[in-house]
Amino acid sequence: MAWWDSVASLTPVAAWDALHFSDGQLQDQVGGNAVTVQGGVVTPFPLHGLYGQDKPWPLATPLSLSGEFVLAGFVMHVSRGLVFYKTLGDSSNYFLDQESNGAIYQYANGTGGQVGSGPAWGTPKFMALVVSPSSARVYLNNDWAGAAFARAWVADTVGGIGYYADGNEYNIGGSERFYAAGLWSGAASLADLRALEAACRTALAGPPVGVHVAAFARWHSPNSDQWNQPGSHPRQFRGLPGARRNIYFGGDGQISGTVKEKGSPDQPLLRQVLLYSENTHTLVADTWSDAAGNYCFERLDRAQTYTVISTDYQQMYRAVIADRLRPEAMP
């Protein structure tokens, strides 16, 4: 069963996700209403997604909105973000706008206001607008984001993703992500929305993309000369209860940090992080920073020093390096 078919009480009208992107378009998996994307595919970790180029993403044909329906988008913004617009260049009709303070706004024909609040930028957000003939309500990441508000605040058509006003600040940018979106007819409960979000997140989850490191046990006399040099780790196993540890680098220490784009304020980045031994210049481990930019390497020998390197798969920034790092004790 596809994620957009996962809730029996909701009938899909249109559904798009980053798994069905080709020739510059998001292919509608229910009908034929494609979305023209100004952007491309990103590394599929932790979610399959697309990046933007600060330009609007129009639908092939505007979708009419009437009766009871759910309009949802799964995105990650790092600046003011808009999930849907009614008409290109129309600043008085838009859906699910989130500002820097987390406030969510909804407007139609100049009528509307703040309808809820949500997490800070840099967090993947499954946002849904749940509409009945008389009222509407916003859902965000497993719960309601605010109280019900007037149906008059919801426009009667949707024409695209991301853009509504002059300039590019509400578009999806290069550091932002689009994962999925859709329109369903029918009444939705909180349980229905949670089930739809869970199915969508599961479908879009991607595997970590890392660097393969050959197992030392399979090498012939692995770096024997280096291990015996002063200051290097002796070739012996130091067992500590309760966890598996690397025979050469294992211990009870950790190195943690953040990856961010410099700005006012700094914006968290999801990037690959590599850990190298400074004694042997050997790659010890690799990981990815999370949506908040945080990373952590655990179970490290606290007697050794390490270098951390973060690389940018989008090739917009040069690698950043922190050397002479000594692990702190794990909590």
Are residues 241 and 193 part of one domain?
Answer: no
Q: Are residues 125 and 221 in the same domain?
A: no
Query: So what's the pLDDT on residue 320?
Result: 92
What pLDDT band is residue 279 in, cutting at 50, 70 and 90?
A: confident
Task: Give the model's pLDDT for residue 167.
Answer: 62
Residue at which a domain ends, from 182, 204, 226: 204
Answer whether residue 211 is part of any domain. Answer: no
Q: What confidence category does residue 156 fall into, taking pLDDT thresholds of 50, 70 and 90?
A: very high
Handedness of CA 11, 14, 16, 22 (dihedral sign): positive
pTM of the model: 0.67
34-40 mean pLDDT: 95
> Do residues 117 and 146 make contact, with C-beta atoms less than 8 angstroms apart?
yes
Which of 158, 130, 156, 155 is CA-nearest to residue 144?
A: 130
For the cut 70, the answer to whether the pLDDT of residue 217 exceeds it is no
Output the pLDDT for position 64: 96
Q: For residue 10, what are its two tokens?
A: 């909701």
AA identity, residue 27: Q
Whether 197 and 309 share a structural domain: no
Tell me if 303 is assigned to some domain: yes
What pLDDT is recorded for position 227? 46
State whether 271 and 248 are in the same domain. yes
Residue 165's pLDDT band (boundaries 50, 70, 90)? low
Within this chain, do residues 275 and 192 fall inside the same structural domain, yes or no?
no
Q: Considering only 37-51, 58-72, 229-243, which range has the smallest mean pLDDT? A: 229-243
Same domain for 152 and 178, yes or no, is yes
Residues 268 and 141 in one domain: no
Q: Which of 204, 230, 264 is the last residue of a domain?
A: 204
The yes-or-no verdict on residue 106 having pLDDT over 80 is yes
Identify which has the larger pLDDT, 284 or 129. Answer: 129
Span 138-146, mean pLDDT?
Answer: 96
Expressed as residue numbers, the domain containing 22 is: 3-204
What was the pLDDT predicted at 308? 96
Among residues of the chain, what percentage have pLDDT more than 70?
A: 85
Residues 177, 61: one domain?
yes
Residues 221 and 149 in one domain: no
Q: Are both 288 and 152 inside the same structural domain?
A: no
Section 250-254 average pLDDT: 89
Average pLDDT over residues 236-240: 41
Query: Do 114 and 145 sit in the same domain of this protein?
Result: yes
Q: What is the spatial distance between Cα 156 and Cα 152, in angstroms, rounded to a whole number? A: 9
CATH number for the domain that contains residue 306: 2.60.40
Domain boundary among 204, 229, 246: 204
Question: Which are the contacts of 264, defined by CB distance < 8 A and separation ≥ 6?
Answer: none
SS3 labels along 94-161: EEEEECCCCEEEEEECCEEEEEEECCCCCCCEEEEEEECCCEEEEEECCEECCCCEEHHHCCCEEEEE
Residue 38 lies in a domain: yes
pLDDT at 6 over 80: yes
Is 209 inside a domain boundary?
Answer: no
Q: Which pLDDT value is given to residue 246?
A: 65
Highest mean pLDDT: which range of 119-123, 142-146, 309-313, 318-322: 142-146
Mean pLDDT for the chain overall: 86
Q: Which residue has the higher pLDDT, 270 or 198?
A: 198
List the single range of 112-116, 135-139, 286-290, 313-317 with lowest mean pLDDT: 313-317
| Whether residues 195 and 233 fall in one domain | no
Is the pLDDT at 54 greater than 60, yes or no? yes
Q: In the predicted model, is pLDDT for residue 231 greater than 60? A: no
Is the pLDDT higher at 221 or at 150?
A: 150
Residue 210 in domain:
no
| Residue 27 maps to a domain | yes
Q: Is residue 11 part of a domain?
A: yes
Mean pLDDT of 122-139: 95
The CATH number of residue 190's host domain is 2.60.120.200
**101 or 256: which carries more pLDDT confidence?**
256
Q: How many domains does the chain contain in total?
A: 2
